[in-house]
């Protein structure tokens, strides 16, 4: 039982870590583009904005399990197989990029336009504005967004078991549900609860430290156990992480 669990933990970690990394690398520029190309933005381009926004919306509204199946050809082209942990990373990342991009968009929109203007008045170009203002000033919110994405990805990764990727969710289904080993299932649930709580705590602390330094107050820190596991958990924590994001995320 022990090696089974530790292997599952490692699989989950591996999948979530890689897909988070890819989601951040892909979603950050996408989210910035959503803001910059919008009406009144520095790179205003209404057509591009509508197109990107529409793609993000479609990708976001797709149920993950369908996305996973739909992307099988793409997955095979990239990692050479549609089965296993590596194969699961592809749909996880593809699903998380638009999710993270919307969170980035909300975070970056919060940045005071006066700061952008100040940098322009110093002779800064758009790239300077992105590098020196938009990203550093929204960093606390971006950290919250990353936390939310990680928690959501842990949730999605449970479904990755259906393509033989393993992981904690897979254990809970195969052993806990299908073999009626309820003790193993509950252990899995407990492990997930602890992991998610720790991630949420770490993310909140990081965001809060930056927030406090920036003098924006910061919400009181709560140790939010189980929130990520409850039905609709990732969505609920999304709305607490970056206020108002759920309104725009659809």
Q: Site residues (CB under 8 A) for other proteins? A: 41-44, 112, 114-115, 117-126, 128, 132-133, 136-137, 139, 210, 213-216
CB of 50 to other proteins, least distance (A): 18
Angle between helices 72-79 and 85-109 (to 10 degrees): 110
- State how far the alpha carbon of 192 is from the alpha carbons of 8, 47, 182, 232, 240, in Å: 11, 42, 15, 15, 20
**Rounded Cα–Cα distance for residues 32 and 228 (Å):** 27
Tell me whether residue 36 or residue 241 sits nearer to other proteins (CB atom): 36
CB of 144 to other proteins, least distance (A): 15
Tell me whether residue 29 or residue 124 sits nearer to other proteins (CB atom): 124
CB of 36 to other proteins, least distance (A): 10
Q: Is 135 exposed, middle or buried (0-12, 13-18, 19+ CB in 10 A)?
A: middle
Tell me whether residue 128 or residue 162 sits nearer to other proteins (CB atom): 128
Asked if 194 contacts 224 with a C-beta cutoff of 8 angstroms, the reply is no
CB of 241 to other proteins, least distance (A): 19
Tell me whether residue 70 or residue 214 sits nearer to other proteins (CB atom): 214
């Amino acid at each position: 039982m022990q090696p089974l669990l530790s292997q599952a933990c490692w699989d989950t970690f591996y999948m979530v870590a890689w897909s988070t990394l890819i989601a951040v690398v892909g979603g950050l520029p996408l989210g910035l583009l959503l803001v910059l190309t919008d009406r009144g933005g520095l790179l205003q381009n209404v057509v591009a904005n509508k197109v990107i926004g529409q793609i993000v919306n479609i990708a976001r509204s797709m149920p993950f399990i369908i996305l996973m199946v739909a992307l099988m050809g793409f997955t095979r082209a990239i990692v050479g197989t549609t089965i296993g942990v590596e194969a699961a990373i592809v749909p996880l990342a593809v699903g998380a990029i638009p999710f993270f991009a919307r969170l980035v968009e909300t975070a970056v929109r919060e940045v005071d336009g006066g700061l952008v203007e100040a940098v322009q008045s110093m002779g800064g170009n758009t790239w300077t504005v992105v590098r020196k203002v938009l990203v550093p000033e929204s960093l606390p919110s971006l950290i919250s967004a990353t936390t939310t994405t990680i928690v959501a990805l842990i949730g999605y990764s449970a479904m990755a078991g259906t393509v033989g990727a393993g992981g904690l969710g897979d254990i809970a289904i195969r052993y806990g549900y299908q073999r009626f080993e309820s003790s193993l299932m509950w252990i899995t649930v407990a492990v997930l609860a602890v992991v998610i709580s720790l991630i949420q705590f770490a993310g909140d602390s990081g965001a809060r430290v930056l927030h406090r330094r920036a003098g924006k107050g910061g919400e009181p820190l709560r140790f939010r156990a189980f929130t990520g596991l409850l039905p609709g958990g990732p969505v609920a924590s999304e709305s607490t992480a970056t206020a108002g994001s759920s309104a725009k995320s659809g």
